[in-house]
C-alpha cells in the first residue's frame, strides 16, 4: 500500500545511520503498543481501527444519513484536532471544491476554528435560508472559539426551528462523562458521540470526531477504517524494513545533523488540508522542551514559483517529505500543428507522465542543492489509501516523539495563550493575571 524511498538521503547520512535508531525504536514501539511509555494514557489510537465501538459506528452512519436527508448544510463547529482531520479527509477524497460540486450530500462549513467576524458572517450568509444542522465537537465545551460559534449557531437553529426542532439538528461529540458540552447535551437531549478518553484530539480523526462529518460528505467510512486497520497490521512488524520505523529514523537522523524544518510536499491541491492536519499532529506532539522539527508544507508545482528559490538556495535548514499519489484519471496532451508554444515534444503524452518527470526533476535539483528528500508513494486517492496514510503518520509521530525523548501525547504549551486570552477577556478567576497583562500592554 505504501512505499517509502529514502535513497536520496545517501549523500547526507553516513552508512548505517538509520539502523543506529533501531533499539530506541523497538523501545518506543513497545511503549506505544503496551500504553506504558510517557503519555501512554493517550495511546488508545494504536489499536483503535480494530477495537472501535461498532455500535457507535453504526449510529454515526445512521446520523449521517439523517443529516443528509434533513439538511442542505452541515456546520461543523470545532478547532484543532476537532476539525482538521475531518476537513483533511473530505477535501482529499471528495475535493477542495466539495461545496461547489453537484451532489446529493449537504454542503459542509467549518466554524469555531478562529475569531474572524467576517468569516463567520460569510458562513451565515452562505447558509442563507437553507435547512441546516450543527455538529459541535469539543471535549470540554469551554474552548473559546468553538464555544462562541456554537452559541451563535444554536441560537440560529432555535429561532428557525424552535427548541424542539433544533434539538433534532444538533449532534454533540464530547467527553463520555464530564464537561460543559456533555452537561448541555444531556440536558437538551442532543444525539451524542464520544471523544475516546485515551485518544487526544490530534489523533482523533478516525474516531467519531472525524467520522461523522466525513460520513455526511458521502465518504465510505467503513473503507477508511479498513485502510487504517491494514496499516495497523502491516506496520506492526518490528525492524528497519518497516517503513514507519524507517521514516521515524530518517527524521531523527536529519534532525540530529542539524535540520530544523520538515517540509511536507504534496502535488495535489486536494492535499492541502491533509498537510494542515499533519502540521498540527507533528507540531503539537513534538514541539516541546526546545526540541523538534518545525512542520511546514508546500504545494508543488505551484509553490516552486514562490518558495522554490528559497528551498533551492536559502539556508540549509530543511528536508522534504514528498507524498505522491497515483492519478485517478488521465489527460492526454494534444498536438498543435503550429507548435506555437514549442510543446509538441509532449504531444500524445499524459499529464501524469509530465508531472512525474517534473517531480523527479525537482527532487534531483533540491538534493543537489543540499535539501534531503524522503518520498512516500501511495496508490490513487481513496478511502482505503487515505485511512492507511493517516495511521502511518500517527504511528510515525508517536515513534518520533519518543526518539526525541519527549512525551508526544501532551500539549502543555497550548495553555499559555488561552490563559492570557481568558484574563484579557475578563473571565472570572483571572483578575490578577489580567492586571499584569494590561500593565504590559
Is 284 an active-site residue?
Answer: yes
Q: 428: cis peptide before it, omega within 30°?
A: no
pLDDT score, position 439: 86
Q: Which of 145, 192, 284, 299 is catalytic?
A: 284
Is it the case that residue 309 has pLDDT exceeding 80?
A: yes
What is the number of other CB atoms lying within 10 angstroms of the CB of residue 371?
A: 24
Please count the CA atoms within 13 angstroms of the CA of 74 that sit on its side-chain side. 31
pLDDT in tens, 266-307: 999 999 999 999 999 999 999 999 999 999 999 999 999 999
Q: Which of 305, 315, 330, 440 is catalytic?
A: 305
Is 384 an active-site residue?
Answer: no
Is 418 an active-site residue?
Answer: yes
Q: Which of 357, 418, 431, 438 is catalytic?
A: 418
Element (DSSP H or E) covering residue 121: helix 117-127
DSSP letters spanning 319-362: EEEEEEE--SS--BPPP-TT-TTS-GGGTT-BHHHHHHHHHHHH
Q: Please say whether the beta carbons of 71 and 105 come within 8 A.
A: no
Q: Count Cβ atoms within 10 A of the Cβ of residue 157 and give its class: 0-12 exposed, 13-18 middle, 19 or more buried.
A: buried
pLDDT score, position 10: 94
Is it the case that residue 54 has pLDDT exceeding 90?
A: yes
- Counted residue by residue, the chain has a size of 441
Q: In the predicted model, what is the mean pLDDT of residues 159-168?
A: 97
pLDDT in tens, 57-106: 999 999 999 999 999 999 999 999 999 999 999 999 999 999 999 999 99
pLDDT score, position 296: 98
Q: Count Cβ atoms within 10 A of the Cβ of residue 333 and give its class: 0-12 exposed, 13-18 middle, 19 or more buried.
A: middle
pLDDT in tens, 185-208: 999 999 999 999 999 999 999 999
Is it the case that residue 433 has pLDDT exceeding 90?
A: no
pLDDT in tens, 362-412: 999 999 999 999 999 999 999 999 999 999 999 999 999 999 999 999 988
pLDDT category of residue 217 using cuts at 50, 70 and 90: very high
Q: In the predicted model, what is the mean pLDDT of residues 6-16?
A: 96
Q: Rounded to 10 degrees, what is the CA torsion of 46, 49, 51, 57?
A: 140
pLDDT in tens, 326-343: 999 999 999 999 999 999
Q: In the predicted model, what is the mean pLDDT of residues 230-250?
A: 98
Q: Please say whether the beta carbons of 325 and 378 come within 8 A.
A: yes
Element (DSSP H or E) covering residue 188: helix 180-188
Which one, of 299, 298, 321, 330, lies nearest residue 397 by Cα?
321
Amino acid at each position: 500500500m505504501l512505499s517509502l524511498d529514502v535513497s536520496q538521503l545517501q549523500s547526507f547520512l553516513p552508512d548505517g545511520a538509520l539502523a543506529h535508531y533501531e533499539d530506541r525504536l523497538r523501545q518506543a514501539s513497545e511503549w506505544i503498543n503496551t500504553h506504558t511509555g510517557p503519555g501512554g494514557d493517550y495511546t488508545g489510537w494504536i489499536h483503535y481501527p480494530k477495537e472501535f465501538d461498532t455500535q457507535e459506528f453504526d449510529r454515526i452512519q445512521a446520523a449521517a444519513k439523517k443529516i443528509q436527508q434533513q439538511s442542505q448544510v452541515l456546520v461543523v463547529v470545532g478547532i484543532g484536532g476537532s476539525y482538521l482531520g475531518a476537513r483533511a479527509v473530505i477535501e482529499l477524497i471528495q475535493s477542495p471544491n466539495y461545496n461547489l460540486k453537484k451532489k446529493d450530500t449537504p454542503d459542509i462549513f467549518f466554524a469555531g476554528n478562529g475569531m474572524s467576524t467576517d468569516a463567520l458572517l460569510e458562513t451565515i450568509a452562505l447558509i442563507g435560508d437553507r435547512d441546516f444542522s450543527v455538529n459541535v465537537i469539543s471535549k470540554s465545551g469551554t474552548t473559546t472559539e468553538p464555544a462562541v460559534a456554537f452559541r451563535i449557531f444554536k441560537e440560529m437553529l432555535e429561532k428557525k426551528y424552535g427548541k424542539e426542532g433544533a434539538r433534532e439538528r444538533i449532534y454533540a461529540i464530547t467527553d463520555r462523562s464530564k464537561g460543559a458540552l456533555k452537561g448541555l447535551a444531556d440536558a437538551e437531549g442532543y444525539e451524542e458521540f464520544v471523544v475516546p478518553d485515551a485518544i487526544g484530539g490530534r489523533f482523533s480523526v478516525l474516531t467519531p470526531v472525524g467520522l461523522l462529518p466525513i460520513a455526511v460528505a458521502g465518504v465510505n467510512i467503513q473503507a477508511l477504517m479498513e485502510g487504517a486497520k491494514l496499516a495497523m497490521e502491516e506496520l506492526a512488524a518490528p525492524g528497519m524494513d518497516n517503513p514507519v520505523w524507517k521514516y521515524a529514523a530518517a527524521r531523527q537522523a536529519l534532525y540530529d545533523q542539524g535540520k530544523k524544518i520538515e517540509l511536507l510536499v504534496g502535488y495535489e491541491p486536494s492535499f492541502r488540508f491533509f498537510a494542515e492536519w499533519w502540521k498540527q499532529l507533528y507540531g503539537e506532539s513534538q514541539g516541546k522542551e526546545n526540541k523538534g522539527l518545525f512542520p511546514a508544507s508546500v504545494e508543488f508545482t505551484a509553490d516552486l514559483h514562490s518558495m522554490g528559490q528559497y528551498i533551492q538556495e536559502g539556508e540549509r535548514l530543511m528536508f522534504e517529505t514528498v507524498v505522491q499519489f497515483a492519478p485517478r484519471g488521465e489527460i492526454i496532451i494534444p498536438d498543435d500543428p503550429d507548435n506555437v508554444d514549442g510543446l509538441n515534444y509532449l504531444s500524445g503524452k499524459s499529464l501524469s507522465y509530465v508531472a512525474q518527470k517534473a517531480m523527479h526533476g525537482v527532487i534531483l535539483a533540491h538534493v543537489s542543492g543540499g535539501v534531503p528528500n524522503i518520498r512516500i508513494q501511495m496508490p490513487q486517492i481513496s478511502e482505503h489509501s487515505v485511512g492507511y496514510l493517516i495511521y502511518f503518520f500517527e504511528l510515525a509521530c508517536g515513534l518520533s516523539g519518543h526518539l526525541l525523548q519527549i512525551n508526544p501525547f501532551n500539549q502543555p504549551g497550548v495553555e499559555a495563550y488561552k490563559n492570557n486570552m481568558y484574563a484579557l477577556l475578563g473571565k472570572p478567576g483571572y483578575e490578577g493575571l489580567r492586571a499584569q497583562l494590561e500593565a504590559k500592554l
